[in-house]
Amino acid sequence: MTTNDYVLALDQGTTSSRAIVFDRGGAVRGIGQREFHQYYPQPGWVEHDPMDIWHSQLEVAREALRNAGIYAADLAAIGITNQRETTLLWERATGRPLARAIVWQDRRTAALCEQLRADGHADWLQQRTGLVLDAYFSGTKLAWLLEHTPGAREAAERGELAFGTVDTWLVWQLTGGAVHSTDPSNASRTLMYDLHTQDWNDDILALLNIPRSVLPGIAPSSAVVGHSIADCLGGPVPIAGVAGDQQAATFGQACFTPGMAKNTYGTGCFMLMNVGNAPVPSHNQLLATMGWTLPGAGATYMLEGGVFMAGAAVQWLRDGLGIIQRSADVEALAASVADTDDVFLVPAFAGLGAPYWDPYARGTLVGMTRGTTRAHIARATLESIALQSAELLACMNADSGIALSQLRVDGGAARNDLLMQMQADLLGVPVVRPRVAESTARGAAGLAGLAVGFWSELDEFASQWEVEQVFEPQWPEAQRQARLARWQQAVALSRGWNRPQP
């Protein structure tokens, strides 16, 4: 067992970088957080500066240590969790990024996905990767970078370039370029990873024209992959846990038994269900994905459904419409009316995810009258998050054959009591919020801590998960079904709006 008393979790998200120090009891001892710039060079394009990602993450890691009053020498390990699918490409020799990172929300490869689908590759890809053919995933983003960045194709063929999702980029930076690796949870989001062989698929690489030499190695989610260089935090620290943000949140919520599920309410909204040690194919347009791999315990697989716009829809109320000053203001405004007065917002600002997978859907606000107020629109925005999540759960129940008994929740918007009650009413099952809301960072810390003996076993880590509040459903079944049917009418109006005209 390690004698160091803390684990540092690096939580690199879509709009901000965070770092959290946890002690042996699972309590938070120090936090750092910083937003960074978003680039929107064309409609449907979303980019990040890779150096912004790295510098903001390093700064908040140092800030979290300062706030906890500790040093690198007090850390047993570093765990990393990250925005998934965001795609980076850099020079191995210098670490210089060749271009801005293409963010998971970016839709520039929708046409390439359409062509691959027209050529008959969609089912074949889904059988191997568990993923729906969509611009969301990293493979087509990497193919785009190699095709459109001057000199990239030739440099890649010479073995001079490194691809990575954000976890890989952070490990590379933390180790001074010594380690180029990812974990199965992130690899399984690239459209290049075979769920069955648990390795990169050469047939897919050939289809996308991607040289295998650019890809990172794949290490277990809970394992020491390297050590941070002293320049980063003041001393070397084992990097011992890596998982994509949604899988890390599922781990942090202690969803270790098949049938357990969690929903994270962040920029997007992501629901994952543990389905055990073998992938379960989806017949309802969900994703089969890797959860994590633990030494000696093998792989845990998930079913996942993603809502692209959750907290981002509330940000739109704040920044786009200006009807609230702070995101936190939405709850009081929405609660000032009893219902939406039949107003629905479909927040398809970047298309629709599961179960529709429509990149051409666009945001739609319907049902308004002269009596509609900003409060009705605020309430419809919150309800849209709960409605989208309810659709996902119905698909999961059908695919897994398991009727969920409760939903564990986390993420910033999970602190919104009104939204959580809406969610319970629309699901028809209790919604459970834990005492420690930092589930994503907690999961990264757990994976890292287990790898170095900071926590001795899974049960010890799971025992630290505690309930803060349970939201019980209050609606009768008929009301729930009627609301969902009305929502689907609104969704139908948003579908295909931006499809190119012949």
Secondary element (H or E) of residue 419? helix 417-427
Q: Is the separation of the CB atoms in 187 and 215 below 8 Å?
A: no
83 assigned to a ligand binding site:
no
412 assigned to a ligand binding site:
yes
Q: Distance between CA atoms of 44 and 102, rounded to whole angstroms?
A: 11
Q: Tell me, what amino acid is at 39?
A: Y
Q: Tell me, what amino acid is at 326?
A: R
Considering Cα of 116, then 118, then 122, then 124, what sign does the dihedral take?
Answer: negative
The whole-model pTM stands at 0.87
416 assigned to a ligand binding site:
yes
- Print the SS3 string covering 295-339: CCCEEEEEEEEEECCCHHHHHHHHHHHCCCCCHHHHHHHHHCCCC
24 assigned to a ligand binding site:
no
140 assigned to a ligand binding site:
no
Q: Which two tokens stand for residue 468?
A: 């803060």
How close are the terminal C-alpha atoms of the chain, in Å?
65
Residue ranges and CATH numbers for the domains of the chain are 6-245 (3.30.420.40)
Please compute Rg for the chain using Cα positions: 22
Residue 123's CB is within 10 A of a number of other CB atoms, namely 10
128 assigned to a ligand binding site:
no
Q: Which two tokens stand for residue 380?
A: 């419809």
136 assigned to a ligand binding site:
yes
153 assigned to a ligand binding site:
no
Provide the residue-wise pLDDT of the chain in tens; the chain has 502 residues. Answer: 456 899 999 999 998 999 999 999 989 999 999 999 999 999 889 999 999 999 999 999 999 999 999 999 999 999 999 999 999 999 999 999 999 999 998 999 999 999 999 999 999 999 999 998 989 899 999 999 999 999 999 999 999 999 999 999 999 999 999 999 999 999 999 999 999 999 999 999 999 999 999 999 999 999 999 999 999 999 999 999 999 999 999 999 999 988 889 998 888 888 999 999 999 988 888 999 999 999 888 899 999 988 888 888 999 999 999 999 999 999 999 999 999 999 999 999 988 887 888 889 999 999 999 999 999 999 999 999 999 999 988 888 888 888 888 899 988 889 999 999 999 999 999 999 998 878 899 999 999 999 999 998 888 998 899 999 999 999 999 999 999 999 999 999 999 998 887 7
Greatest CA separation for the chain: 66
381 assigned to a ligand binding site:
no
- Print the SS3 string covering 21-73: EEECCCCEEEEEEEECCCECCCCCCCEECHHHHHHHHHHHHHHHHHHHCCCHH
Q: Is the separation of the CB atoms in 301 and 292 below 8 Å?
A: no
Q: Which two tokens stand for residue 497?
A: 């709006």
Q: Tell me, what amino acid is at 43?
A: P
499 assigned to a ligand binding site:
no
241 assigned to a ligand binding site:
no
Residue 473's CB is within 10 A of a number of other CB atoms, namely 17
267 assigned to a ligand binding site:
yes
